[in-house]
A and B are shown apart, each in its own frame.
Chain A
Amino acid sequence: MKMNKRHIWQRFIACLDPVLLAAIGLLLLTSLVVLYSASGGNWNRVLLQVINILVACSAMWLAANMPLHYLMRVAVPAYLMGMALLVAVAFFGEITNGARRWLNIGVTTIQPSELMRIAVPLMMAWYFEKNEAMLTLKNYFIATLLLLLPVLLIARQPDLGTSIMIAASGFYVLFLAGISWRVMLTFLAVAMASLPFVWSTLHDYQRHRILMLLDPAQDALGRGYHTIQSVIAVGSGGMVGKGYLHGTQTHLDFLPERTTDFIFAVYSEEFGLLGNLVLLCLYLFVIARGFVITAHASTYFTRLMAGSITLTFSTYAFVNMGMVSGILPVVGVPLPLISYGGTSMVILLLGFGILMSIHAHKKLIQT
């Protein structure tokens, strides 16, 4: 009986990567600690985040235990469904805050762009795997199309943050799949040339956000306020921070969106440079483990997938911290594993679940 119980437990955790799990666990713990301060001591917020984490962990466990061939089978339907939903959003979506991002499916509202964060790289990795034998320029072109379609649809909603992140995750797949430097550089040149055109299609608030990066003080009470206050919070944290629960920027309401996109400012104000270093190390640890898994992945598909997931995660962390510390525009990207929010947590841990699965099932194959 006792042996049996132990056996079940071993089966239960078999697919989970202990190293990755430990680092993620520490980050999630940090999330709860910072969230308590950021929400002004609101236990309710913390409890909701615990629920978010539990749900996300279940998703991770499921993904980790999912056999890889099953994951490959899911790729096309997931992508097609995502695209269909995105098109539906474009036509029937609900408008909130001037953007059409949500779709009412009767029981609840969903944000299909979140699904695409996984579905797009999945689809692209699947596509490259299918055509592994003879990759030509045409394949890269089609893969790029697979990427650009959802990215443009999401950018149109408009949701600049998500579309950039999905574009990045797709680009990583392309890059790792070996797209030639010449094509990349040509593409880059074309992109640069089309910048003025892109600028003209951007929404006012998006232009504003980009302009504000150049001079946040310009609009100190409007858009620039977010950046100015978050930079003050980070800077005034100093070497060791103002102490837990003692951030004045945080607790006197100067920081905007401090439980979500700007939670890093709270952390940074209260724990200072030392805290930031610890956080960067934790992230680096997760990323490093991700790269190890990527390097050891056994198939083309899993390599691309693992690489994309790890790189996207790094990008999330960089973009958010860069935005909060004032070197990147405010694009609405949460700090991975720390910011409050259910959807992004689920998507992230789903990604890590896939990473674990890639690692675990490779081992299973070998043994």
Chain B
Amino acid sequence: MKPHIEFKDTLREIHNFRQRLAICIVFVLLLLLVLFSRFIYLQVIQKNHYQTLAENNRIAVVPIAPSRGLILDRNGVVLAHNYSAYTLEITLSKVPDLQETIEELAKIVDIQPGDRKRFKRMLADNRKYESLPIRNRLTDSEVARFTGQRYRFPGVEIKARLFREYPLHDQSSHLVGYIGRINKNELAHLEEDGVSANYRGSDYIGKTGIEQHYESELHGITGIEQVEVDAAGREVRVLSRTPPIPGNNLVLTIDAKLQAIAEQAFGSYRGALVAIDPSNGEVLAFVSKPGYDSNLFVDGIDEQSWSELNNSPDRPLNNRAIRGQYAPGSTIKPFMALAGLHYNKRSPDYTISDPGYFSLPNSRHRYRDWKKEGHGSVDLFKSIVVSCDTYYYGLATDIGVDHIYDYFSGFGFGKKTGIDMEGEVPGLLPSQEWKRRRYKQKWYVGDTVSVGIGQGYSLVTPLQLAYATAILANGGSAHRPHLLKEVQIPRTNERRPFGTHLESSLNINPDHLALVKKAMVAVTQPGGTAAQAGAGAPYAFAGKTGTAQVIGIKQGERYIESQIQERHRDHAWFMTFAPADQPKIALAVLVENGGHGSSTAAPIARKMLDYFLLGKLPQPLQPVEGAEGIDEDE
């Protein structure tokens, strides 16, 4: 009985067991089926998706920054070039402890407090995925030392980078400008313009001057390298490479030597000078003094230099040539004379008797002439030669401010010249309408009197006056002033000239023009206001001095230069073109607080003309620094 039961139990047990085992087998088969469907899903249905992911994983697109175009003067003198140097860069995302890393690095390479500050500032202004330099321009021994201990510094790399250099330092700084690290603002602009992709490998952008205006020419086109990377982001090999296209070189219309002479001639004076070729608008010299060393800005300027530049009473960062607005003073008299002839308010022989002042009818207010006792009998010719104020007080009231406005507009006053540089200001050419809008006041005749001698509301920039001078010199044809002569495309050696833009052509009666030019030539000859500066010139040159008041002189007082603080002295103007009969150069000089135009501004112009027309270097001969013997980079 019992064995029977046991036997039966065993059978049942085996039966039960087999049943359970069958369930298990089904279960296992089901699991394998689940796996197999998963494989089909991943490897057949979603194959493309995962293959793309794998490709993206292994392939990184690395931008290669193009080398920036050079900036040269018209004779090939280098104003801006690039040189290669090593930098020590930190990739933020790969560094575990930034502060500690910097401390450790400081034990190997020299890291100045200035470097740390600059690094911090860039950190605050960081763009995504960027590596930031902690040190620029490593020495060879520093490179060797770091390379030896590189394993200790994940995320820190030595990179060969091209650096911008301005070999002329503070000469031509306002002209050439500088580049600096791209900030958030500029990045937003690049994105707006849809060119941010081209800046993926670039750290720098033109901030001022030519560097800024011709950024799109200078920058070049970023290349692309497809590299295979491993999981740590290390490059394994290059898969494909589209080389960058270097930026175009710019040949400026500037003559660096002429520029250097001008900068030297200013000495310690502040001011600005613009020289233009009247026949085509090429700017031959573009000076704003004082300047600064553009190189300071390239790697991010250090705080001390910045505060020195920014807080200096001389305001070296202000580009006076296009942003300085000054009363034009007597320099507008030749234009006034032309306006008087144009509107038939004066004939060449019309003569006034100058008592040394001018009064409006029914007024006892006296507008003084600069010469207390007056110039006696004055016609149009003499009015320019001796710069008679009284003549122009009367003439201005006769023409009326709105006619003055119309006529002067033709010479480019009161509006931007459109030069190829950012930041130009328009100056101010007043009119009745303007005063109503600006001050909600009626225009008084007395306002017109001041306008007649370039005081009162009138304001011009040195560039504007140079432009007006060029138009005058050219007989009324206005060529927009420009700094770019041609663009050189380095890969093809192709040259793209800037071309000239004939803006407008004024209709000036040749007789009127001849008379005014003759008078301006007489200005630089014995008896003229610039006779001293004109002495001994072997060429005839036309000129006109001017003085811009800085502070008002009260009725009944005299302006005595020696009794006035240096910074309250008048600004000195001189405008000129030469040779008088066939002008090759027209220029305007402003010397801030220079007193009289004849004593400070005219001599600067004379040195320029001597060099430009005769090739004569100023006496005493000073070697012109940097203008020669510069090796071209690349």
Residues of A at the B interface (CB closer than 8 Å) are: 132-133, 172, 175-176, 178, 229, 231-239, 248-249, 252-254, 268, 272-273, 276-277, 280, 283-284, 287, 291, 294-295, 300, 303, 307, 311, 314, 318, 321-322, 325-327
The answer to whether residues A235 and B13 also contact, given A176-B24, A311-B28, A322-B35 and a CB cut-off of 8 A, is no
Interface presence of B47 (CB below 8 A): yes
Q: With a CB–CB cut-off of 8 A, which chain B residues contact A311?
A: 24, 28
The answer to whether residues A322 and B13 also contact, given A232-B50, A236-B50, A307-B24 and a CB cut-off of 8 A, is no
Interface presence of B124 (CB below 8 A): no
CA distance A178 to B16 in the complex (A): 7
Nearest CB to that of B53 among chain A residues?
A232
CA distance A321 to B55 in the complex (A): 23
A236 touches B53 (CB 8 A): yes
- Other than the given A229-B57, A249-B58, A326-B38, 7 more pairs (CB < 8 A) read A178-B16, A229-B231, A248-B228, A284-B32, A291-B24, A294-B21, A311-B24
B557 CB, nearest partner CB in chain A, Å: 78
A235 touches B21 (CB 8 A): no
Partner of B32, one of A175, A232, A318, A327: A318
B57 touches A235 (CB 8 A): no
Interface presence of B500 (CB below 8 A): no
Partner of A249, one of B20, B32, B54: B54
Q: With a CB–CB cut-off of 8 A, which chain B residues contact A234?
A: 39, 42-43, 50
Q: With a CB–CB cut-off of 8 A, which chain A residues contact B58?
A: 248-249, 252, 254
A268 CB, nearest partner CB in chain B, Å: 8
Nearest CB to that of A237 among chain B residues?
B43
Q: With a CB–CB cut-off of 8 A, which chain B residues contact A272?
A: 43
B36 touches A280 (CB 8 A): yes
B231 touches A273 (CB 8 A): no
Q: With a CB–CB cut-off of 8 A, which chain A residues contact B197?
A: none
Partner of A322, one of B38, B55, B232, B236: B38
CA distance A178 to B21 in the complex (A): 10
Q: With a CB–CB cut-off of 8 A, which chain B residues contact A295?
A: 18, 21
CA distance A277 to B231 in the complex (A): 29
B38 CB, nearest partner CB in chain A, Å: 5
B28 CB, nearest partner CB in chain A, Å: 5
Q: With a CB–CB cut-off of 8 A, which chain A residues contact B31?
A: 314, 318
A27 CB, nearest partner CB in chain B, Å: 15
CA distance A131 to B28 in the complex (A): 28
CA distance A268 to B47 in the complex (A): 12
Residues of B at the A interface (CB closer than 8 Å) are: 6, 13, 16-18, 20-21, 24-25, 28, 31-32, 34-36, 38-40, 42-44, 46-47, 49-51, 53-55, 57-58, 228-232, 236
CA distance A237 to B38 in the complex (A): 13
Looking at B42, B50, B57, which has the most chain A CB atoms within 10 Å of its CB?
B42
The answer to whether residues A239 and B32 also contact, given A233-B54, A254-B58, A291-B21 and a CB cut-off of 8 A, is no
A256 CB, nearest partner CB in chain B, Å: 9
CA distance A176 to B15 in the complex (A): 11
CA distance A295 to B25 in the complex (A): 11
The answer to whether residues A235 and B51 also contact, given A280-B35, A307-B21, A325-B42 and a CB cut-off of 8 A, is yes
The answer to whether residues A291 and B43 also contact, given A176-B20, A236-B53 and a CB cut-off of 8 A, is no
B57 touches A248 (CB 8 A): yes
Nearest CB to that of A327 among chain B residues?
B38
Query: Can you spell out 10 A-B residue pairs with CB atoms less than 8 angstroms apart?
Result: A232-B54, A236-B51, A236-B54, A238-B44, A252-B228, A273-B39, A276-B43, A314-B31, A318-B35, A327-B34
B36 touches A277 (CB 8 A): yes
B39 touches A276 (CB 8 A): yes
Q: With a CB–CB cut-off of 8 A, which chain B residues contact A327?
A: 34, 38
Interchain residue pairs A-B with the least CB separation, the first 9: A235-B50, A236-B54, A253-B231, A235-B42, A252-B230, A273-B43, A236-B50, A318-B31, A253-B230
